[in-house]
Amino acid sequence: MKMAKDPYWLKSGIYTVLSRMANLIFGFGSFLLLVRIIDKKHFGIWALFLTATSIIEVARNGLVQNAQIKYASAADEIEYPKILNASLTLNILVTISSVILMCGVAHVLGVVWKSPEIEVMFYLYTFTTVVLIAFSQFNFIQQAKFDFKGIFYSNAVRQGIFFAAILYYFLTRKAPSLIDLVVYQTIAAVTGAITGWFFVKKYFRITFSFEWEWVKKLFHYGKYVFGTSISSMIYQSIDQMILGGMLTTAEVGAFNAASRTTNFIDVPVSAVSSIVFPQSAKRVAEQGKEALVYLYERSVGLLIALILPMVIVCVFMAKWVILVIAGAKYFDAIPVMQVIMISSLLQPYARQFGVVMDSAGMPKVNFYLLLIVTIFNVIAIYFGIKYFGVVGAALGSGIAMTIFVTIALRILKKEFGVKFHHTFIYCWKFYVDGLRMVLHKIGVK
């Protein structure tokens, strides 16, 4: 199997990386501007709001996305519209549940985080999450068809419009209210969904009959992925939530500024995961579980090779990195960023473990492991903050991630024969092959 010669990997890889890069440029660009035009307190509130709403959207993706991709990618013309109907039904149901939950906890979170503004922000966001039913459904359909072009454009439009709004305030030297930001999110989501429709309509097939059997089938497949996604998101964001309750929103703002450096890590990790899952699900069906060993070891090795230089820069040039991304008022976040970046070297192992478990039809294993480690993570973060302050949140998360990866690698070795040291071989091979290619280009033999 030669990935470089496979047109699927090339074409899908280009659009997926472009999509992640657009998210990075517009998302990170919005952060760079916003952190300079609003104060630490309000930036901390915005960070907590994004953390909570991200959990809601991850829940939608976890329950619907992977199940739809798994079944729709191999479905015939008769079953295909039934699957789309069932996935749309699930999407609507999870959105309704999310809206009810959001409205129910809005006041409580406002009290816990000492932020009355956030209650109104949650109420307004219900409009955005309804619009995202169409936006997300269009993306899922295209991913099941291995067509990433429309995903790139719809996401770029959505992110670009929100970035343009922030840029306007930055250039006019005004500070937007947090309510304004939520409204711009809704406008961006509507425009992104409209853009997505033009690319997905050729794949859009739906039956008007209620396909209860398929709804149950998708739900039972997706329930563990759903649980895993929720646990994973809570695992990744619980540090900021606990910080908001134990300390202040200003300190949440500092922690969030430090953690933004992981955006550079998330681009290759998420891109590779998005490409590997549809292909691995297909190859498992054709070649068996043995195909997953190569995919896991090589994809992790590639990711380590890609993110290692960024980690080195952020650790040893931390002051300059913080100065560039957030400004001098966030220098107190330097040690937090260093701890977070070192821990990020474990991200490829954890993320690709989830991909392997889902592809092999074992999402339950990933769910229970992540649930256990999430509970430990909460405890570690609580005591970390209690004894070490803001940096303790990063230390607690790092310890929990180390435990998760250690257990995950033992499971992979037992079930599939994955060898930990092979990831370093592929990492080294990436550098060697890259050097050879450069030398060849400049005429050195």
d(CA 208, CA 211): 9
Query: Average pLDDT in the 332-358 region?
Result: 88
Residue 406: its pLDDT value, please? 93
Among candidate residues 202, 333, 320, 345, the one with its CA nearest the CA of residue 265? 345
Give the model's pLDDT for residue 269. 66
Could you report the per-residue pLDDT of 204-237, keeping only the tens digit for each? 777 667 778 888 888 887 777 777 777 777 777 8
Specify whether the CB–CB gap between 126 and 103 falls below 8 A. yes
Structure tokens of 22?
């657009």
Q: Once rounded to an integer, what is the mean pLDDT over residues 17-28?
A: 80
Question: Of the candidates 6, 140, 144, 173, which has an alpha carbon nearest to the alpha carbon of residue 62?
Answer: 140
The pLDDT value recorded for residue 276 is: 59
Q: Looking at residue 2, what is its pLDDT?
A: 43
Average pLDDT over residues 6-15: 59
Whole-angstrom distance, CA of residue 218 vs CA of residue 74: 14
Of 410 and 16, which is predicted with more confidence? Answer: 410
Q: What contacts 382, CB < 8 A, 6 or more positions away?
A: 242, 246, 396
What is the C-alpha separation between 259 and 341, in angstroms, rounded?
Answer: 8
pLDDT of residue 329: 85
Each residue of 33-79: pLDDT tens digit? 999 999 888 999 999 999 889 888 887 777 888 777 777 776 677 77
Number of neighbouring beta carbons within 10 Å of residue 263 = 16
Lowest mean pLDDT of 10-14, 15-19, 159-163, 400-404, name the range. Answer: 10-14
The tens digit of pLDDT for each residue in 127-153 reads 999 999 999 888 888 877 777 788 888
**pTM, two decimal places:** 0.74
- Residue 160 has what DSSP assignment? H
